[in-house]
Structure 1
């Protein structure tokens, strides 16, 4: 199950006089990540590099920002992937200390910066939700409401007309089972207004 993190977490490493300031934080998409990186450059105008990696579905990115190709962004992204994270931005600000670290040293420094920040992060499961809408005869309103509560779903709207219309959200991984159960309980009297299957 993919995870994200609750709040930003920072780390700081000093390696051969170079200072690496790492941060991991929840971010939904690439434009948001780019805005954060631009803000980091304003906060740290004398930094040598602001490298970053974003794991966010089709908007993922790995940016070396002037470091030798493949020594910063990609290793940072690999740390996020290894921990099955989604919707997470990792940034590392580097202040160069005058001593070359070599490709292997850079990979270790950027990887360690992200890994150290993640050690302090509170990871939370990403629960994908599905919205469902159904209509039921008034005689079945209580049955539907009890089923919604028992399944841990959230009832978001109820409309009373010729029949009762109910809108709910439920965890995607149990939605099909929930629909099947309600169809069974309703003996065919419950009508789904949207396609109930994902």
Structure 2
């Protein structure tokens, strides 16, 4: 399964602080979940290849990176492995995350419902116990300011968790591109206007 959709929950999503793993046994089959933070689909697929076990029965996986997502049942009946893993990633609010669940068959068939519970449950427990950190959505603001205001602007914007990403000087001052948390954008725009006495009008970059 693959596709994309707008993520309406982006503002409240989290990501893993570090790779995590969890192993459990379900009716004699061993399930090993391994999860990692990733920035791109290529990085997610590299992780899948790196941790998949060649002699295991199945290596099922899913990832979510912003609007991009993908899952793979890896030979299990359709919709019983990759999709439940993806639903766990989304259900727990994770983004920029890949999860691989490896299964060693123990001789007892689990049935479709049992597979969904086993794959989803192993992935869910792995992510639930893993350390996580909030994802802060940033907005980029571009504006020009005079030399006289530059030092004070840097200090005051820093207090709003803003970071200067680009800076170019000309004869009258500096063109700045500042990344600021989306939740503090209005405050940053007002602060820039106040400190420059209305001379600097930030615009939001795509």
**Among 183, 186, 192, which residue is 1:182 paired with?**
192
Specify the alignment match of 1:17 in structure 2.
28
In 2, the alpha carbon distance for the partners of 1:2 and 1:129 equals 13
- Unaligned 5+ residue runs, structure 1? none
Contact 1:64 1:72 in 2 (8 A): yes
When Rg is computed on C-alpha atoms for both structures, the one with the higher figure is 1
Q: Residue 86 in 1 paired to residue 95 in 2?
A: yes
Query: Matched residue of 1:60: which SS?
Result: strand
CA distance in 2, matches of 1:39, 1:126: 25
Structure 1 stretch displaced more, 20-29 or 151-160 = 151-160
For residues 62-104 of structure 1, the C-alpha deviation after alignment (integer angstroms, 9 at most, x for no partner) is: 2111111111111111111111111111110111111111111
| Other-structure match for 2:204 | 196
TM-score for both structures, normalised by structure 2? 0.84
| Residue segments in structure 2 that go unaligned for 5+ positions in a row | 1-11
- Counterparts in 2 of 1:185 and 1:81: CA distance versus 1, 3 Å: same
Cα distance in 1 for partners of 2:67, 2:154 equals 37
The RMSD of aligned alpha carbons is: 2.0
